[in-house]
């Protein structure tokens, strides 16, 4: 187990890893604990994986922390998650700065309570000149929200005559997504044994390699990350071509 990191080919690291951090509630409930206990422990995993990615030299890490649909959870869980978010940001900003990590957020942040939004905006500002790992938090995020939001912005540009409908290309559309400055993920990990995407980065994962693990998020550590990266490095990414073409050019 301990030599997994040495098996990773540093030349073939995914530039961008995205993670659906799932299973906090079940992890807690299996121990007879409240779901929030699982969310608190999930923060430990976030720390560990952010550190693991920074050490390896991964450029972008996107973490799905709260979906648009998660607003429909019981009020005490939503409130608990918002409080946890604010507490974590407050505690972590000095560590992010020390490790040169730049914080970004994607999602419908207008839905966040004002105190959480303020904390988040300050943290983004305070880490904005960092040049190391880009940590992208998906908060109040869903892919269908993002796509519709992008279409509305683009439609306005067309209405105003700034863009001609026939000139809309993938490059132009991409500029209206929350991820406009971020390359597509090469590797997407989902924890907790669920085999679904749950409204995450639907447009961006067109050619992403998917890795599913039964491990619950609060139990996920660097070794699990290394396993996922090794799995990724053993795949042949063909992008529609044949294996023969890839191996002869
Ligand atoms: C993921 O864990 C964290 C959030 C969605 C906020 P869950 O809270 O979904 O945990 P399970 O899937 O119910 O076990
Ligand atoms: C997906 O997990 C969202 C996050 C991890 C933030 P969910 O637990 O909300 O997903 P479903 O409802 O099981 O698909
Ligand atoms: Mg879940």
199 class by beta-carbon count within 10 Å (0-12 exposed, 13-18 middle, 19+ buried): middle
In a domain, 243, yes or no: no
- Over residues 86-101, the mean pLDDT reads 97
Q: Which residue has the tokens 């890839």?
A: 246
Is residue 228 a part of any domain in this protein? yes
Ligand 2 atom nearest the C-alpha of 196 is 14
User: What is the residue with the minimal CA distance to atom 9 of ligand 2?
Assistant: 70
- In the sheet that holds 102-106, the strands lie side by side as 102-106, 134-141, 60-67, 16-20, 187-190, 209-212
45 within some domain: yes
Residue 238 in any domain: the answer is no
**Looking at residues 76-81, what average pLDDT do you find?**
98
Identify whether 249 is part of a domain: no
The verdict on residue 240 lying in a domain is no
**Tokens describing residue 107:** 């999602």
Spell out which residues line ligand 1, taking CB within 6 angstroms. 21-26, 66, 70, 81, 192, 217
Indicate whether residue 99 lines ligand 2 (CB < 6 A): no
Spatial neighbors of 81 by CB under 8 A, at least 6 apart, are: 36, 39, 66, 70
pLDDT at position 2, please?
Answer: 64
pLDDT for 212-231, tens place per residue?
A: 999 999 999 999 999 999 99
Domain-located, residue 245: no
DSSP 218: G
The percent of residues above 70 in pLDDT, for the chain, comes to: 99
What mean pLDDT comes out for the span 30-44? 98
pLDDT, tens only, 96-150: 999 999 999 999 999 999 999 999 999 999 999 999 999 999 999 999 999 999 9
* Structural domain boundaries enclosing 145: 4-233
Domain count, the chain: 1
Predicted pLDDT of residue 145: 98
**Spatial separation of the C-alpha atoms in residues 206 and 186, rounded to whole Å:** 10
CATH number of the domain encompassing residue 211? 3.40.1180.10
d(CA 148, CA 157): 14
Catalytic residue, chosen from 48, 70, 97, 99, is 70
DSSP annotation string for 171-214: HHHHTTSTTTTSPPPSEEEE-TT----TTSSTTTTTT-EEEE--
pTM of model > 0.95: yes
Q: Is residue 57 part of a domain?
A: yes
Question: Considering only CA atoms, which of 130, 34, 119, 47 is closest in space to residue 83?
Answer: 119
Task: Tell me which residue has its CA closest to atom 6 in ligand 1.
Answer: 66
Assign 235 a pLDDT band (cuts: 50, 70, 90): very high
């Amino acid at each position: 187990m301990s030599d997994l990191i040495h098996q990773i080919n540093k030349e073939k690291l995914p530039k961008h890893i995205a993670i659906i951090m799932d299973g906090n509630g079940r992890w807690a409930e299996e121990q007879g604990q409240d779901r929030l206990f699982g969310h608190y422990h999930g923060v430990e995993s976030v720390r560990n994986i952010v550190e693991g990615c920074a050490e390896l030299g991964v450029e972008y890490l996107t973490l799905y922390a709260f979906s648009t649909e998660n607003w429909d959870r019981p009020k005490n869980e939503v409130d608990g998650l918002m409080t946890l978010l604010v507490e974590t940001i407050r505690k972590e900003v000095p560590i992010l700065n020390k490790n040169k990590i730049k914080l970004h957020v994607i999602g419908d942040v207008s839905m966040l309570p004002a105190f959480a939004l303020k904390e988040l905006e300050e943290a983004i500002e305070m880490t904005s000149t960092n040049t190391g790992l880009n940590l992208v938090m998906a908060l109040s995020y869903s892919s269908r929200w993002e796509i519709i939001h992008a279409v509305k912005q683009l439609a306005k540009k067309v209405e105003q005559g700034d863009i001609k409908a026939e000139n809309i290309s993938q490059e132009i559309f991409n500029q209206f997504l929350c991820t406009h400055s971020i390359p597509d993920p090469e590797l997407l990990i989902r924890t907790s044994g669920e085999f679904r995407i749950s409204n995450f980065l639907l447009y961006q994962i067109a050619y992403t390699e998917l890795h599913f693990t039964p491990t619950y998020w609060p139990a996920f550590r660097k070794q699990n990350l290394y396993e996922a990266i090794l799995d990724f490095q053993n795949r042949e990414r063909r992008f529609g071509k044949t294996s023969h073409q890839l191996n002869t050019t």
